[in-house]
């Protein structure tokens, strides 16, 4: 196993601690992640995380070694004690209010329309 991935997994399994990082994957569907966002919370009082984003078009970001190395470097640079993440793609990579109008559905990602981003289930 890659040394960085081993250290990443160790940080993921810690119970508590600041600073911490949140890692979230996004894609036009629930199979291919085109974007990863890492949010850094430096302390419990840190209301807004410090965000950094990576995007890939040709390869799933979860399989891109150069992106993973940059994420690990960002996490290491901020002396992260804990990583929080879910085991799935949690939504569209486009940003509401930036890539499409607030309150609307992303026209590029119809897969996510009427879908619970945490379970993947269709919302009736």
What is the tens place of the pLDDT at every residue in 67-103?
999 999 999 999 999 899 988 999 999 999 999 999 9
pLDDT attached to residue 6: 67
Counting other chains too, the contacts that 101-109 makes at CB distance below 8 Å and 24 or more residues apart are 108/28, 109/28, 109/29
Domain ranges for the chain: 3-112
Tokens at 91, concatenated: 């939504």
Per-residue pLDDT at 44 exceeds 70: yes
């Amino acid at each position: 196993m890659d040394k960085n991935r081993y250290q990443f997994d160790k940080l993921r399994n810690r119970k508590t601690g600041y600073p911490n990082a949140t890692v979230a994957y996004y894609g036009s569907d629930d199979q291919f992640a085109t974007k990863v966002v890492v949010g850094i919370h430096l302390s419990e009082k840190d209301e807004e995380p410090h965000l950094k984003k990576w995007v890939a078009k040709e390869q799933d970001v979860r399989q891109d070694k150069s992106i993973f190395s940059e994420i690990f470097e960002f996490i290491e640079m901020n002396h992260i004690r804990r990583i929080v993440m879910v085991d799935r793609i949690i939504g569209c990579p486009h940003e509401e209010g930036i890539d499409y109008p607030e309150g609307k559905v992303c026209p590029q990602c119809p897969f996510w329309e009427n879908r619970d981003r945490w379970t993947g289930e269709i919302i009736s």
